[in-house]
Amino acid sequence: MPFLVSGNIDLVERPSLRKLEKHLGIILSPHQYPLEQYNLIRGSLKQKLDSDTLIRSMTRRELLSFIYILTQFGDVVQGETPDEYLDVENVPVVLEWQPGHFMIPYEILDFLAQSRVFRNQNYLFALIPALPSKEKKAWLEWIGAGYGRSFPREINHELYFQCRHLQKPFQGKSLVQEESIRLEQLWAPGKNETVDWFYKGIMPFYSSMKELQRSERDPFLLHVLDLIRSGKLVLKRLPEEFGKREEFQLVSTVEGNTPQLRDTVFSWEEAREESEDFLFR
């Protein structure tokens, strides 16, 4: 998984770190506090990074490489990636943090998640931050992961990390072919008590799905529940219409439709439960 450059600059190869510093117009020093580095990077991103401009500045091969890395949850390993998707030398937001290891740092993913471009195209990294806090916590509880962290962005990162591992066995496949499905097409209001808890505002959506998984017997709907739990399908509110009740759909995520090719597991990923977002302190 990608990680925050903030607090971890010693893990990033100097030429690659210099590329990021030059693009953002900043200098990162080990003498700075991690939060100071984070604010420095975020402040510069607000001033200098525009997703539309970034995309237009890339060649076709660079754009394909950038998009491919996004579909791989923000990081790839050279030996497990087709060569045509590694044309990133001149893409400032992709860092070769160690030889043959490429990533889009979390600071940049968090910033790009605010762009309508990525939300409208249903990239998981952009849909997770848009969910209400209660839904994200309920989702983590369903997955079985903790969320005892201080900041919302850390909950976002935890969900993103968990979904990558949950999605890998699917190899980008599912029985659901539609890009979006109205929730009521699967569970109509008044037809399923557990889902009605969500419709009536009694329980978060992901809590109701967790409860439903215990009682559902339909093989297709059980498959759908697995897709929801792994982030291959994500809840999205439909635009409100005056005089009508809230309606929701499940949208198919870009990452969820793409086979996850990385098999390499980094040591920090195995030990991450003992650490927080500044992984290498």
State whether 22 and 111 are in the same domain. yes
Domain for residue 137, yes or no? no
State whether 96 and 186 are in the same domain. no
Domain for residue 257, yes or no? yes
Mean pLDDT over 20-24 rounds to 93
What is the span of the domain harbouring residue 191? 177-280
State whether 39 and 105 are in the same domain. yes
* Predicted confidence (pLDDT) at residue 90 exceeds the cutoff of 90: yes
Give the pLDDT band (50/70/90) at residue 246: confident
3-state secondary structure the chain: CCCCCCCCHHHCCHHHHHHHHHHHCCCCCCCCCHHHHHHHHHHHHHHHCCHHHHHHCCCHHHHHHHHHHHHCCCEEEHHHCCHHHCCCCCCCCCEEEECCEEECCHHHHHHHCCCHHHHHCCCHHHHHHHCCHHHHHHHHHHHCCCCCCCCHHHHHHHHHHHHHHHHHHHCCCCCCCCCEEEHHHHCCCCCCHHHHHHHCCCCCHHHHHHHHHHHCCCHHHHHHHHHHHCCCEEEEECCCCCCCCCCEEEEECCHHHCCCCCCCCCHHHHHHHHCCCCCCC
Domain for residue 131, yes or no? no
Domain for residue 251, yes or no? yes
Q: Could you read off the pLDDT of 159-172 as tens digits, one per residue?
A: 999 999 999 999 99
State whether 87 and 182 are in the same domain. no
State whether 115 and 206 are in the same domain. no
Number of independent structural domains in the chain = 2
Domain for residue 98, yes or no? yes
State whether 98 and 188 are in the same domain. no
State whether 98 and 185 are in the same domain. no
Q: What is the pLDDT of residue 266?
A: 83
Give the domain-ending residue among 121, 141, 157: 121
Give the pLDDT band (50/70/90) at residue 278: very low
Give the domain-ending residue among 102, 121, 140: 121
State whether 203 and 276 are in the same domain. yes
* Predicted confidence (pLDDT) at residue 148 exceeds the cutoff of 70: no
Q: What is the pLDDT of residue 19?
A: 94
Of residues 208 and 53, more confidently modeled? 208
pTM of the predicted structure, to 2 decimals:
0.91
Mean pLDDT over 15-20 rounds to 94
State whether 113 and 14 are in the same domain. yes
Give the pLDDT band (50/70/90) at residue 37: very high
Domain for residue 170, yes or no? no
